[in-house]
Structure 1
Amino acid sequence: MLGGTFDPVHLGHLRSAVELHEALALDRVHMIPAAMPPLRGEPWVPPETRLALLEAGIGDTPGLVADPRELRRDGPSYSADTLAALRRDYGREARLVMALGHDAFLRLADWRSPQRLFELAHLVVIDRPDHEAPLSAALAELIQGREVDSVESLMQRPAGGLLRLRLPTRMAISATAVRRRLASGASVRYLLPEAVEARIRRDGLYRQR
């Protein structure tokens, strides 16, 4: 599971998903747009539009799936609820993984039911080699005894582990910066998949509010 607002989906999101698929030898990566992210502001465009852009960006990429399940639930998009739904789909013995970026990881103790996340899945933190920050006491307690140092160790159980993973390609693309460029009319070529850029231009998305 790789969640986010995807507002809009960009090449950094998609390249990370491809590299997660390869590095962890996953059957598939569910890319799941959040309808109402609890700890972030309201996205710029409606959920169904972000899903359509994600589908356009993924295209026929093997192993990547645009998953609309959070858009079909009422209320805020809590990751624990999404993982519970995936666990029901795949069964008790399936090895489930939730991937998140380092910045989101540092706020993990503030999420709803963070302990339940580990009951349902492994967590993989996409490390940033240029970013070091001390863990809060609450976060350190939450992950105590869970961290492993290899994919092989992580995958020995269906859930409960934590792995820090440094992906081969870390594309420094920010959705915030992409939105600013779109709003100002600046070029976003090679920041977005061509199909996503074409859809945004066609529908006049991400203009100034």
Structure 2
Amino acid sequence: MTRTRVSLTRPAQGVSKKIGIYGGTFDPIHYGHLRPALDAMHQLGLSQVRFVPCYQPVHRDQPSTSSALRCQMLQAAIAHQPGFELERCEIERQGPSFMVDTLRFLKTQYIGQDLVLLMGSDAFSRFLSWRDSSGILDLANLAVMHRPGESLPQQGELAQLLHQRLTTKLNQSAGQIIEVEVTQLDVSSTQIRHLVQQGVPIEFLTPRGVIETIKQNKLYI
């Protein structure tokens, strides 16, 4: 199986050293994923956002669509957005998809560049249950994307972690957490799958290329 080829050279002087990493099942990808990623890229000055479809999620139900078709939909969705890239490392690695393993691999590929793990507030609420969450913070900074006015946890272990790690500007290579207010669209992959199953149009919820892939392959029916 062909592995993703990535330049191992250091970034040119003056070029952003921060790369966004955005994982998920993406079954299918939709504007609720894409717009927050674009917001985060611009607000944090990321050189790119790499979308990482998981092979076998460990914190949610298994995807109903093959990894090949999820990658095809994702590639169609991001094809015309500069800085958005498909990262296949979890698909190629196979097995359970643990983010700490993914970040360790990507650190060997993007030498001298800082990784910023993008996650929504729902994912962040479960962060301490992830495998080696402290190891993740040794490898990357976290950007917690949430709707304007939404507050992060004020009590418990997550609140303690935020007290220790929260910053308003990423100025370290790893270990920091930053809030990013993003455009929050009320759309989900589950909703799209249900609409397709019911024969309801899904236009304006996900890009045209994704819709075409769903129709051509008779997905979610």
* TM-score where L is the length of structure 1: 0.91
- 1:1-209 pair list within 5 angstroms: 1-91=21-111, 93-129=112-148, 131-132=150-151, 134=153, 137-149=156-168, 153-154=169-170, 156-167=171-182, 169-207=183-221
Cα separation, 2, equivalents of 1:201 and 1:74:
27
Task: List gaps (5 residues or longer) in structure 2.
Answer: 1-20
- How far does residue 101 in structure 1 lie from its aligned partner after superposition? 0.2
Q: Which amino acid aligns with 1:202?
A: Q
Partner Cα separation in structure 2 for residue 74 and residue 203 of structure 1: 23
Aligned counterparts of 2:152 and 2:119: Cα–Cα separation in 1: 16
CA deviation map 1:34-91 (0-9, x unaligned): 1111010111101111011000111121000011110011321101111111111112
Report the TM-score when normalising by structure 2: 0.86
Q: Deviations over 1:23-42 (max 9, x none)?
A: 11111100010111101011
Q: CA deviation at 1:103?
A: 0.4
Kept in 2: contact 1:115–1:142 (CA 8 A): no
Unmatched 5+ stretches in structure 1: none
Distance 2:155 2:139 in 1: 23
Pairwise CA RMSD: 1.5
Please identify runs of 4+ aligned residues in structure 1 that moved more than 6 A: none
1:135, distance to aligned residue in structure 2 (A): 5.3
Cα-to-partner distance string for 1:91-145 (whole Å, 9 max, x where unaligned)? 2x42210000000000101100000111000000001336557456332344441
Work out the CA distance in 1 between the residues paired with 2:211 and 2:94. 29
Identity of aligned residues (%): 34
Distance in 2 separating the partners of 1:135 and 1:51 = 37
Alpha-carbon separation, structure 2, partners of 1:33 and 1:134? 27
